[in-house]
Amino acid sequence: MRRGLAVQITGAAIAYVAVVLGYYVFNSTPVTLGIYHGGIVAYVVLTGQTTVVRQLVHGWRTRLGLAATAVFAATGIAVWYVWPLAALPEVDFAARLAERGIGGPAFWWFAAAIIFVNPALEEILWRGCLVDNARRPSWIDAAFAGFHLLGMLLMAAVWVSLLTFLLLAAVSWFLRYVRAATGGLAICWVAHTAADISIVTAMYLLLQ
């Protein structure tokens, strides 16, 4: 049953609160992820949507799943190639990560959180809790892309940030469509995990 719009907006707002407080106020990735991931868990529990978690292991379709995973896994390649052109001139990537608390050995706990925790929680929230079986583009897609845009503006050129916004909105719509078509989040989760693994790998290579 479709949740009220106010409840959905509250769920989407978790990401914005996390980015604003974590990056713009505390300049800390651990704070950002703590607020974001903790907020998602609290939202799922408080809105009584814990059954959505089971959708992570339902809806797998081999051909579609493998194709989506392969495409999403290429995300890191794009990041690795584009970043030197996309980064703001004053941004030192390694120094910025260190400022945000994920430089040196701390990078590995960040990588673990992004690979093992983030994909599942984001799919539970954005493709599980906030919408039902809607297959058309939605404000949810813009909201999903928007909080990534907020984070990117601190490090990347405006044109890259806006292009990324459009791409992420399209990705969000695609994943919601897949969830609606398959009745589960399995493909979304696996493809999202592949994307995050490739992005973390690209980040590591950029630090070398």
Instruction: Indicate the pLDDT class of residue 5, thresholds 50, 70 and 90.
Output: confident
Read off the pLDDT of residues 101-122 as tens digits, 9 standing for 90 and up. Answer: 999 999 999 999 999 999 999 9
Q: If you average pLDDT over residues 2-22, what whole number do you get?
A: 92
- What CA–CA distance (Å, rounded) separates 17 from 32? 9
Global pTM?
0.95
Name the β-bridge partners of 87. 156
Instruction: Identify whether the C-beta of residue 36 lies closer than 8 Å to the C-beta of residue 18.
Output: yes
Across 95-191, where does the E strand assignment appear?
Answer: none
- What CA–CA distance (Å, rounded) separates 192 from 80? 18
- Decide if pLDDT at 133 tops 70: no
From 127, 157, 161, 119, select the one nearest 144 (Cα to Cα): 127
Q: What does the pLDDT read at residue 136?
A: 83
Q: What does the pLDDT read at residue 1?
A: 40
Read off the pLDDT of residues 153-165 as tens digits, 9 standing for 90 and up. Answer: 999 999 999 999 9
Read off the pLDDT of residues 28-81 as tens digits, 9 standing for 90 and up. Answer: 999 999 999 999 999 999 999 999 999 999 999 999 999 999 999 999 999 999
Q: What does the pLDDT read at residue 3?
A: 60
Read off the pLDDT of residues 184-205 as tens digits, 9 standing for 90 and up. Answer: 999 999 999 999 999 999 999 9
Instruction: Indicate the pLDDT class of residue 88, thresholds 50, 70 and 90.
Output: very high
Q: What does the pLDDT read at residue 131?
A: 77
- Decide if pLDDT at 132 tops 80: no
Q: What does the pLDDT read at residue 148?
A: 96
Q: Which residue has the higher pLDDT, 8 or 134?
A: 8
Q: Where are the domains of the chain?
A: 5-207
Q: What does the pLDDT read at residue 87?
A: 93
- Cα dihedral value 70, 74, 75, 77, nearest 10: 170
Question: What's the whole-number average pLDDT of the chain?
Answer: 95
Which contacts qualify for 174-177: CB closer than 8 Å, 24 or more apart? Answer: 175/123, 175/126, 175/127, 176/126, 176/127, 176/131, 176/134, 176/135, 176/138, 176/140, 176/141, 177/135
Neighbours of 47 (CB within 10 A): 15
3-class DSSP state of 87: strand
